[in-house]
Amino acid sequence: MRSIVYLVCFLGSSLSTFGQGEVILNTEPFKHDARSVYIQKVLDERTRKNLGWTKNGQPKGIPLYLYPNATEAVQGFMDTSFPYTKAGRAIQIKIWDLEIQQSQSSITDIKTRVHMYLGFFERVGNQLKEIYKIRHYEEEVFPLSQASAIDTSHEKRIRAALEFCMLNFINDCLQKSDFAKMKSLDSEEVNSFKDPRILDVDSPLRKWYNLLTVQKIFSKYRQGWKVTYTGFADSEEDFILPFTLSYDQYSLKPKVLERKGYKSVDSYTLGGGLEGLVKILPGLYGRLGLHIPVGLESIKELQNKRKNNFLIGVKGRQGLVWIPWEDFGIVIGAGFFQQIQTSKIYKSDYGFELELGVNF
């Protein structure tokens, strides 16, 4: 009978956790030295009360909430480590931000994090006085292959972030006052853990872009197309070096073939190299590229005799790329290129290229 009750409880908690997008915060106590402090009240002052959205197999995604709400969940968590004592110092916590942020951080990884911004208050007379505030990011990186494990792990990071904020509050704030008998980290350590990022600076999570584009070139000698995959995490830095892989297929223009006396000249190259993106505006990037195309040149003479030639060259690119929508949309690019190569027909080429593709 008892096992049936356990099973029902388990199913109930699973449904509430996954079906309704609720995160049940466990109450794992942690060690600290502030024995005479307790959390009198937790106030949720966020304008948006959910933690974020999770796909969880739903096409539109579902909002995630702390169960039964952020105020009670955080209060319950704090009560296990900071229980009420009659002579204790009453602290109130205001939740200004508590959300889950997630983004692909590299070609193989996803970075997920909890962003927490808390204020600590104490009643002085009739007034509630702010005595401390802290912003903290609790981050974890998962391989893309383990992305399904992320949803169930948010709970642990929320607890870790709460513990981090509380320990910093105790060490940074209470330690400085005449708070009774508090043995804590020495002041040097207190400062050492004061991450300048966590106090007032908001740090947006980098957004990963996958671009798949097709380019058409307009050049002196060639016509054809090129398909390129580009992957990069947008950052606050002005210069980004993305991962690129490209394949192109070109043939000599009919007029050039006629003039040079060949039936056909086709080239097939794989591209690699450095392609830097200079951030101009959100979504608009300047592109500076240096590529080493390596491949094959297939020459067919007028007598139908075929020759193959190893092709290697150096290609420079300059242009603009526009990514109008962050999540899914069209990518538009344009630019100039210059190329020198080991071709038997033409050693250098230059021209203009147009690019169209998608980001996903």
Partner 1 sequence: MKKTFVMIAVLLITALYTSAQTLSENNLAKKWYLDKYKVASEEYQPSRKEKGDYLFLKDDKHFTSVSEGKEERGFWLLNVNGKYILMKDDKGEKVKANILRLTDQNLVLQFDVDEIREVEVHYSTQR
Residue 54 Cβ vs partner 1, minimum distance, rounded to whole Å: 20
Number of residues that bind partner 1 (CB under 8 A): 23
Asked if residue 113 binds partner 1 (CB under 8 A), the reply is no
| Tokens 């690119």 sit on residue | 317
Would you say 210 and 346 are in contact if contact means Cβ atoms under 8 Å apart? no
| The only residue of 73, 116, 138, 359 in contact with partner 1, by rule CB under 8 A | 138
Q: How is residue 177 written in tokens?
A: 């006052």
Cα separation of 159 and 344, whole Å? 66
Q: How is residue 130 written in tokens?
A: 């702010």
Count helices and strands (H / E) in the chain: 6, 18
Quickly count: other Cβ atoms within 10 Å of residue 236's Cβ: 8
Instruction: Looking at residues 3 to 42 of the shown chain, list those that interact with partner 1 (rule: CB under 8 A).
Output: 28-31
What is the pattern of x (binds partner 1, CB under 8 A) and - over residues 193-212? x-x-----------------
Asked if residue 156 binds partner 1 (CB under 8 A), the reply is yes
Q: How is residue 279 written in tokens?
A: 């951030």
Would you say 76 and 27 are in contact if contact means Cβ atoms under 8 Å apart? yes
Smaller CB separation from partner 1, 156 or 207: 156
Cα separation of 354 and 214, whole Å? 8
Instruction: Looking at residues 252 to 291 of the shown chain, list those that interact with partner 1 (rule: CB under 8 A).
Output: none
Asked if residue 141 binds partner 1 (CB under 8 A), the reply is yes
The strand pair at 284-291 and 294-301 is best described as unpaired
Residue 87 Cβ vs partner 1, minimum distance, rounded to whole Å: 26
The SS3 assignment for 145 reads helix
Stated as kind and residue range, the H or E segment containing 280 is: strand 273-281
Asked if residue 163 binds partner 1 (CB under 8 A), the reply is yes
Asked if residue 159 binds partner 1 (CB under 8 A), the reply is yes
Smaller CB separation from partner 1, 33 or 99: 33
Residue 189 Cβ vs partner 1, minimum distance, rounded to whole Å: 4
Helices (H), 28-107: 70-81
What is the pattern of x (binds partner 1, CB under 8 A) and - over residues 169-188? ----------------xx-x
Q: Which range binds partner 1 by CB under 8 A, 40-48, 126-134, 160-168, 323-331?
A: 160-168
Binding site for partner 1 (CB under 8 A): 28-31, 106, 138, 140-141, 156-157, 159-160, 162-164, 167, 185-186, 188-189, 192-193, 195
